Amino acid sequence: MKNILIVDDSRMARVIARRCLEILIPSDCLFHEAENGEEALFLIRRTPFDLVLTDLNMPVMDGEALLKWIKGSPKTHDIPVAVISSIGNPEKEQKIKGLGALAVVAKPLSPEVLRESIGSFLSKWGTQTKFESW
C-alpha cells in the first residue's frame, strides 16, 4: 500500500490531483490531503509517505517551504515531492528542482501532464501503472 499526500489550499484542486493519480496508478494507494504546508507537516510527522504532491502557492506555509522542510530533515529527505505550479518561470522551476523536487508539474493538471512529469518515477514502484497501456 502506497501512501500519497496531496497538498493544496483548493479542495477542487485536491480532488483533481487525486483523480489524476487514480487514473495513472494501481489501486493499492491510500490518499491523504492537507490544505497547506503546515497541515502537511503534521501528517508527515505521523505517516510515512511514498509521494507528496504539493501546490506551490498556498497560505500559512507554501509548497517551497514544505519542500525545504521535507528535504532538510534526515527523517523525511527521501520522500519524493512533486510541486504543482502555474508560474511558468524557468528560473523558479530550476530553483524548486535544485531544492530536491522530483518534478515541477505544470497547471492545468491532467493525467497526461502528470504522466509526462512523474511517470518514470511511478513506474519504479514495481507494479504496472495504468498509463503504461496508453
**Lowest pLDDT segment from 13-17, 25-29, 56-60, 114-118:** 25-29
pLDDT at 8: 97
d(CA 25, CA 96): 25
d(CA 50, CA 70): 12
Compute the average pLDDT of residues 95-112.
92
pLDDT (tens digit per residue) in 22-37: 888 866 889 999 999 9
Which pTM does this prediction carry?
A: 0.90
Give the chain's mean pLDDT. 89
Listed in sequence order, the DSSP H helices in 62-107 are 63-72, 90-98
d(CA 21, CA 85): 17
Domains of the chain with bracketed CATH: 2-133 (3.40.50.2300)
